[in-house]
């Protein structure tokens, strides 16, 4: 009989031992929770396409802060839903814009909370595209000027970090220049470096009211057939001054999370998008999967691929799972 002295199963014989030798470690401090802030008052409404997530008017953000604190979540990313939209998305950089209101309210309620802001125009334009139109084409260079204005307005309102999600060429450099010129040299940029024209965004577009009124976003978001191009996008953002690189979506793009981590000496974020969250919720509701287990397993796969930061609608639940020792 073969005398097998090498037995990998030895390190799986107890829960304590399995936790001791885990290769992938996760901390609640690496989680960012997406939050939807809407103009108005007394608005606290569950989002039908994202069960367990809510629209908050600024005066109701205390509910979000209380929930975050209860679960040990200390980082959020804000998305704004304005009342009024126009062709150029001017509400996006208004001093009293909805994201700017949200930043100030959160900082009033919880100064220690780390607030990241999504920098884009799709929620603010009447046509739903991510920039300034020239006929039916998004004009890159006009748009990056506006994006820099938006980022500056967020920093002036108290944002700790800005995150451009538009996929215009050169926007990281334009934002960095604008922030630095106005004294915000220490406000980092988390770039949506490789953001794909994905079918997984449906629930978000419903929640944010940001679906384009014509066409699609394939002329600026990435073709999901391409991987090498993603690394080129990441490299350009590194050269332009990005501080963190993001891959979006997460689960269908784990190969790119891995490649980004291997190739660039910057923190890597991954966004587990609305469609990923909604699929887990819907499938669990149908009784086909264990929601808690699948939530944990999918999150670990993203970190295992190389993510340092996870943007996720499951932030509160994952923070609890980490404290319980089920992951982390």
Which are the catalytic amino acids? 195, 248
With CA atoms as reference, report the closest residue to 313 among 62, 77, 106, 26: 77
- Upstream peptide bond of 204 is cis (omega within 30 degrees of 0): no
Crossing angle (nearest 10°) for helices 171-181 and 140-157: 40
User: What residues have CB less than 8 Å from 79, skipping those under 6 apart?
Assistant: 34, 35, 36, 37, 99, 118, 123, 208
What are the phi and psi torsion angles at 256 (to 5°)?
-80, -30
Q: 136: burial class by Cβ within 10 Å (0-12, 13-18, 19+)? A: exposed
Main-chain phi, psi angles of 210, to 5 degrees? -120, 15
């Amino acid at each position: 009989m073969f005398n097998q002295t090498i037995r990998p199963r030895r390190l799986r014989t107890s829960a304590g031992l399995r936790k001791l030798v885990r290769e992938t470690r996760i901390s609640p401090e690496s989680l960012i929770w997406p939050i939807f802030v809407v103009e108005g008052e007394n608005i606290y409404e569950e989002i039908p396409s994202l069960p367990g997530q809510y629209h908050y008017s600024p005066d109701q953000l205390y509910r979000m802060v209380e929930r975050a604190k209860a679960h040990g979540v200390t980082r959020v990313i804000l998305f704004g839903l304005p009342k009024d939209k126009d062709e150029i998305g001017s509400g996006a950089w208004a001093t009293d814009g909805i994201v700017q209101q949200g930043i100030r309210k959160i900082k009033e309620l919880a100064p220690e909370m780390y607030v990241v802001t999504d920098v884009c125009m799709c929620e603010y334009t009447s046509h739903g595209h991510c920039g300034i139109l020239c006929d039916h084409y998004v004009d890159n260079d006009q748009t990056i000027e506006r994006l820099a204005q938006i980022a500056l307005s967020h920093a002036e309102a108290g944002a700790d970090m800005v995150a451009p999600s538009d996929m215009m060429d050169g926007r990281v450099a334009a934002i960095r220049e604008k922030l630095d010129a106005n004294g915000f040299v220490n406000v980092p940029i988390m770039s949506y470096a490789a953001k794909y024209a994905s079918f997984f965004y449906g629930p978000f577009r419903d929640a944010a009211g940001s679906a384009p009124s014509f066409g699609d976003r394939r002329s600026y978001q990435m073709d999901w057939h391409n991987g090498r191009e993603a690394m080129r996008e990441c490299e350009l953002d590194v050269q332009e001054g990005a501080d963190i690189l993001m891959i979006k979506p997460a689960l269908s793009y784990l190969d790119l999370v891995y490649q980004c981590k291997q190739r660039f000496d910057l923190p890597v974020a991954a966004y587990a998008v609305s469609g990923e969250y909604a699929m887990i919720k819907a499938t669990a509701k149908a009784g086909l999967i264990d929601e808690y287990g699948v939530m944990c397993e999918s999150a670990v796969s993203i970190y295992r691929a190389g993510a340092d930061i996870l943007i996720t609608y499951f932030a509160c639940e994952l923070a609890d799972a980490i404290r319980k020792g089920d992951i982390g």
